[in-house]
Every structure is written in C-alpha cells, then in structure tokens.
Amino acid sequence: MIPKAIGFPVAVYLSAYLLFWFNMANELIINVRPHETRVALIENDLISELHIERKTVHELIGNIYRGRVVRVLPGMQAAFVDIGEERTAFLYVSDIYRNLPDPKHMIYAEDRYDNDENKGYAEEETRSVNELSLNIEDILQEGQSILVQVSKDPMGTKGARLTSYISLPGRHLVLLPYVNHIGISRRIKDKEERDRLKNIIEEIRPDKTGFIIRTASEGVEREKIKPEMDFMLKLWANIIDRMPKSTNPELLYMDLSVSLKAVRDLFTKEVDRLIIDSDEEYKRIIEFIDNFAPALRYSVELYHGDEPIFDIYGIEMEISRLLDNKIWLKSGGYIVIELTEALTSIDVNTGSYVGKRNLEETILKTNLEAVKEIAYQLRLRNIGGLIVIDFIDMEKMENRLKVFSALKEALSKDKAKTYVLRMSELGLIEMTRQRAKENLCRLLTEKCFYCEGRGAIKSKKTICYEIFRDLERESSLISSAGEDVYIHVNPEIANVLKEEEQQSIIEIEKGLNRRIIIISQKDFHLEQYDITT
C-alpha cells in the first residue's frame, strides 16, 4: 500500500512502475498432473520455452545405457544398438570414444549445456575428422557391449541417437569423465570470475577428468561446488560399477524428470520465481534446491488456486496457438510455418500492412518484424533441422543484409546451435537448427485421418463431380436396379447438389431415366458419400 504522504502523481507513477516490473518478471511455471508435466519459462511476459513430458512417451535424452551392437553398417559409418527400448538406437562413428582427446568434442560438449552464441558446426567438423581417421567396422562388432548415452530422442520413425562421450550435467558443473578439459560458460563475461572458477576446479578435480563450469556457478564459492563435484563423481563411479554386472541391454542412469531438469537448467539468477501446482513435486524441488542452490529456496512458490495455473498465466491460450501455421505480426503482416519430412518452410507476407511511404520500406519493415517472430517461434516450437525462410523480395542489397544480420542477432539467444546462410537473390534464407527433441507441434498433433496428412480436403464442387462420375460408371447397374437412386452425403454437399448443381442432377436423371434422391447424413465426413438404389 502506498503511504498517503506520497503525492498523487508520484503515487500513480510508482504504481505504474511496480505494475510494469511485475508484468516483466521472469518466471518458471510448472503444471504437474499424473499423466503429464508441462514447464513454461516466461521471459518479459512471453513464453520463451515450453517443455512437455508425458507418461506414455518418456524422454530418453541424457539417459545412460549398457547397449549391445546388433548391426554395423560400414556404408553409413554407423551402427544400430539395442538399449532395451522399443526401437534400436543408432551410433555414428564420430560419436564413439576411442581414448583420443578431441578438442572439437570439447567445444561440442560445452555447446550442449551453455550455448549462448552461434559457434558453428563443431559436432559436424568432429564427425568429418573422425570418419577419415578410423572406420566403424574397426571399432565395433555385432554382439559387443558398449556404454552409451542418448544425445537425441527418437523422432518419427527414427530411433534415438547415441554417443559414447558421456556427460553428466549438474546445477553448477557438467562432468566429462573421458575428457581432460575445463570449459567455462561464455555467459560468464568477467575475466576475474572466470579465472577464479577455473582455479577452483583445477584444485579440486581428479586428474584427467573434465568439467564444464555452467552459468549458474557465477559467484558461487568453492564450498558449494565441491560437494556437487563429489556427488557427480560418485554417481559416475556407480554407473561404471554397474556396467559389467549385466550381459543384457540395460538402463544404468536415468536423467532427471522434466520439472527437476527445469530447476537445474532454467532456474537461474535471471528467473525471479518458480511456481508449481503440485505439492509432491514441490517437495522434490525444495529438496533438490536445498542440496544444490539453497539461496533459491524462497523463490519457489506452491500454487493453491482453483483455476488451472496455465490458465491464470495465459499459457494455455499460447499452447493452442502453437497448432496454427499462420502467425500474425503486429503490423498486419503474417508468417506461415509448414512442417514437412525434409524441412520446415516459413513464408513471410505483408498481409494487410500497406506502409506509409514506399513499397521497399514497407517490405523491409515487415521482414524485420518477421525475423523476431521467426526466431521466437523456432525456439518455442522446438523446430530443428533444415529451415528455409521465404522473405518478401527486396531490391536493395543493403536491406537484404539488414534482414540477414537481424536474423543472426535474434538467433544468438537461442540455446540450440544454428547456422545461417546469406539471403539468396530470390529472397530465401537457408538455415539449420540443432534438433535434440521432437518439435512441439508433432508432439501435440497426429496425422489427420480425414485428409491423410495432406493438410487440405477436397472442395465441395470436387466431391459433387466425383459423385456425378460414379453415377456414370454405375449407370448400367443402376438402370436395372429399381426406380430411385439414393445419394447419402454430408449436409454441406447436399446443399450444393440441391442448389448450385440442380441442373446437373436433372441432366443425370434424364440419362439414367431414374429419379435421384439426395439424403443428408450429419455423421458423414465432408468427403464421404454413398450411392444406393
């Protein structure tokens, strides 16, 4: 409550400031139900990340297995590995540890957890180097047991992708047991702080054991880091100890639940509070925080409201928008996102935006506005792989460069690795984005059994003309079958046949010498019809 001593104008401004600050707060919202857990990271009043874990489709990424090689494919320089899951996983030659410290791999490991700028394709470079050095058939044989970790979840018909370069992430550190290297998150900018943290790890780490110092370590004292390191080393020792005790494919280590992963990876100093609606999961989070980040304990809240937590924060409405392929821009333009098996295409349109001065300026403004929305949607929807963006054509080269630079800048905050090519003469930008999980649209939807994945259904006219052709094909059968012909159709089609195509029906009746009776069937799909006598 604002004291009376504060003047009215000052009180108004202060209230407005406090309201603005509250609305701009960064929050982590977790909705837990027996069948599903959903995590939303809200930054500056926008959902920047959304993670969904369902009991029927559990994530494998981060899990460590004792695997068994079931097939080696020299032509692909890969192997299929049985890890005890429904589908066999696959392992590329570049992802097999062979006791050779690889500095390129060190970059890749750091990218996985604290990627805050576009560092290029270290993973792809590593693969090309390793493929030249050794063939997979010289490393693996069918029936061989191997310690592996899931680096990418199964997607579509593909099994999980594996690596034998193990990494165990913690709150402050990532353990790299096979790499003698200390990496530091690039988000820690201060040189003195970087040196301090590196010196701490150098002093307390075992010989020839690698660690990445995560962003959350900034300002954390040795007394907090040492227990976490000891815990991670003990965990690794337990995994190694279990490996030889079985001969079958087996899960040796399961990564944290999606809610605890969110606490570990997303609940940083930039996040003001975490709100969760499950008492049981709240207790787990508090226990986790007490062990690894006790200072954050008072930023965790248990939600007791009657209205669903995702409704309160407007997240449910945003999730429904994820299913739309058309996203409107504030200016009146829009983008269209289309997912295919091979790539994702994004089309930019001016829509109802007409600008104020000239066409080139209108197009540039629409493209620049689209850039921010595209970067946001890629991250929110977790779209990966090859992406082609069709911007509105611009005549000036300087404007093309502006759009290209703006896109790179917008993508720089993305944790997933991205690689962007310059805009072509046709106004196209090709890019790739690291894909570790299935994108949210595919998780939340399935192939349409009406249109069989076409994304469209036949027009009413097309269906009517199909009916006419079927009547012609069966004319001999119909002529001898009785007096009347009955056409059972969806009510929408019935209206078109009775009104717009009435003359066509009369002509067909003359040809058949039979009366045609149209019957509406409310339970019929638009494309469904049945001809009887």
Token duo for residue 497: 């046949």
Chain segment 230-283, per-residue pLDDT in tens: 999 999 999 998 888 878 899 999 988 889 988 888 888 788 999 999 999 999
CA dist 177 → 76, 124, 167, 211, 412 (Å) = 28, 22, 7, 8, 29
Single-letter residue type at 369 = E
Supply the pLDDT for residue 3: 38
Listed residue (259, 424, 410, 435) closest to 339, CA to CA: 435
HSE value, Cβ hemisphere, 13 Å, CA-based, for 316: 7
Over residues 413-441, mean pLDDT: 87
Residue ranges of E strands in 418-473 = 418-420, 428-433
Q: Report the SS3 class of residue 496.
A: helix
Over residues 414-427, mean pLDDT: 88
Beta-bridge partner residues of 484: 515
Q: In angstroms, how far is the first alpha carbon of the chain from the final one?
A: 79
Supply the pLDDT for residue 98: 67
Q: What percent of the chain stands above pLDDT 70?
A: 86
Q: What is the 3-state secondary structure (H, E, C) of 346-411?
A: EEEECCCCCCCCCHHHHHHHHHHHHHHHHHHHHHHHCCCEEEEEECCCCCCHHHHHHHHHHHHHHH
Does residue 104 surpass a pLDDT of 60? Answer: no
- Range with the poorest average pLDDT among 9-13, 424-428, 434-438: 9-13
Listed residue (174, 168, 213) closest to 193, CA to CA: 213
The model's confidence at residue 121, banded by pLDDT at 50, 70 and 90, is very low
Chain segment 81-95, per-residue pLDDT in tens: 999 888 899 999 888
Long-range pairs of 298-306 with CB within 8 A, sequence gap ≥ 24: 299/267, 299/271, 299/272, 299/273, 299/274, 300/273, 300/274, 300/275, 300/276, 301/273, 301/274, 301/275, 301/276, 302/275, 302/276, 302/277, 303/275, 303/276, 303/277
Single-letter residue type at 42 = I
Q: Report the SS3 class of residue 198.
A: helix
Which residue ranges form the domains of the chain, and what is each CATH number?
A: 24-56+261-316 (3.30.420.60), 64-254 (2.40.50.140), 323-444 (3.40.630), 460-532 (3.40.1260.20)
Chain segment 202-221, per-residue pLDDT in tens: 999 998 889 999 988 888 88
Residue ranges of E strands in 143-247 = 145-152, 161-163, 168-169, 173-176, 182-184, 210-213
Please say whether the beta carbons of 333 and 353 come within 8 A: yes
Please say whether the beta carbons of 172 and 98 come within 8 A: no
Listed residue (67, 42, 38, 72) closest to 55, CA to CA: 38
What angle do the packed helices 122-133 and 103-114 form, to 10 degrees?
150
What angle do the packed helices 491-498 and 502-512 form, to 10 degrees?
80
Supply the pLDDT for residue 197: 94
Beta-bridge partner residues of 41: 28, 49
Listed residue (178, 184, 186, 185) closest to 206, CA to CA: 178
Q: Report the SS3 class of residue 516.
A: strand
Beta-bridge partner residues of 487: 518, 531
Go through the chain and tell me how many residues it has. Answer: 533
Q: Report the SS3 class of residue 89.
A: strand
Question: In the predicted model, what is the mean pLDDT of the chain?
Answer: 82
Listed residue (182, 212, 194) closest to 112, CA to CA: 212
Calpha distance 523→77 (Å, rounded): 53
Supply the pLDDT for residue 371: 94
CA 435 to chain centre: 7
Residue ranges of E strands in 55-172 = 64-73, 78-82, 89-92, 145-152, 161-163, 168-169
Over residues 510-525, mean pLDDT: 89
Please say whether the beta carbons of 348 and 389 come within 8 A: yes
Q: What is the pTM of this model?
A: 0.74
User: DSSP for 163-182?
Assistant: ESS--EE-SSEEEETT---E
Supply the pLDDT for residue 429: 93
Listed residue (456, 372, 461, 464) closest to 411, CA to CA: 372
Supply the pLDDT for residue 481: 52
